[in-house]
Amino acid sequence: MEIAVENKGLTKEELLDLYNSDLDTLLELSKQFMSNNIEICSLVNARSGKCSQDCKYCAQSSHYRTDIETYPLIEPEKVLEAAKEAKAHGANHFAVVTSGKTPEEENFDKIIELIKEINKVDGLSSCASIGILNDEDAKKLAEAGLKRFHHNINTAESYYPNVCSTHTWKDRVETCKLVRKYGMELCCGVILGMGESVEQRVEMAMELAQIHPDSIPINILMPIPDTPFENYGDKIDEENVLRTLAIFKIANPDSVLRFCGGRMRLSEQGQEKALECCVEGIMTGNYLTTTGKSPEEDLKTVKKLGKNLLK
């Protein structure tokens, strides 16, 4: 099947046909929508654990007894230190991330302060991932100079009830709309391997195309002991991750696909193939409760592949 450069509007059936086509051919199709740039970002886990939500993949949920460190909102100087270090390692976006369904009212002014600390670092764009927003919160974040807001749909709408019962997929989409309303960039992606079907992976690609994020973070489930998904390590393999990434890029040619948590489940060859054909961004360093690659390793890979590192 030939795909025109302007391919928006492919049907679900067409995308499913592509998903099931020859893998090398599929990757070459997605490659035509790639730039030669790689965008590096990083984060700081600014408040950990004790979340009221029951997301079945998450170590930070208070519904499960996982062995993670919990702590309240960290101090501004720690955020500034982490942001400077991220910039020194090639990052151009830096996120402050907090656990919880919504930003707690008593902490909101402190979160604003953290964002302003990030904005002090020349050449670094501030990002926040602090939960579901209301209109007033979104407006305040924009007024504080927040450049980008991160809020995933996590999975297809049709599968969301299998993942979480304490909020809805539509709650998440409403937050994405508020981010756009107030002129911030949107980072919105998924977690693969939570038991979704191939058809639902295609649904995710199409739903994201409707949302049209600037950045689509791709997480691959890292099963956490003592969560409901602790035995879900076999729900997706490397080939199907690559197929999904290609479909996501084809359906979202203007969005930057970004490697995030769980990419270490892929082989080095698989990660490099994705960076050549589908993925134009990397979240470097460790994640919220799982480990990733060091910035030095990621920069080495960028150089090996002949990619341009966006400053």
What local confidence, expressed as pLDDT, does residue 291 receive? 52
**CATH code of the domain covering residue 200:** 3.20.20.70
Q: Is residue 76 part of a domain?
A: yes
From first CA to last CA, the distance across the chain in angstroms is 37
Residue 2 maps to a domain: no
- Its pTM stands at 0.92
> How many residues belong to the chain?
311
* pLDDT, position 70: 81
In a domain, residue 4? The reply is no
Closest Cα partner for 258 from 133, 145, 127? 127
In tens, the pLDDT along 132-154 reads 999 999 999 999 999 999 999 99
* Number of structural domains found in the chain: 1
Structural domain contains residue 6 = no
| Mean pLDDT, rounded, for 273-280 | 97
What is the sign of the dihedral through the CA atoms of 177, 179, 221 and 278?
A: positive
- Which tokens in the block code for residue 149? 């807001």
Kindly state the greatest CA–CA separation across the chain.
Answer: 55
Q: Which domain holds residue 198?
A: 12-309
Q: Which residue has the higher pLDDT, 291 or 123?
A: 123
pLDDT for residue 3 is more than 90: no
Could you tell me the two tokens for 44?
């700081």
Residue 3 in any domain: the answer is: no
Token pair belonging to 54: 């029951």
Nearest to 245 by CA among 222, 216, 267: 216
Task: Tell me how far apart the alpha carbons of residues 128 and 114 are, in angstroms, rounded to a whole number.
Answer: 9
Task: Answer yes or no: is 250 within a domain.
Answer: yes
| Structure token pair of residue 178 | 């508020």
174 against 299, higher pLDDT: 174
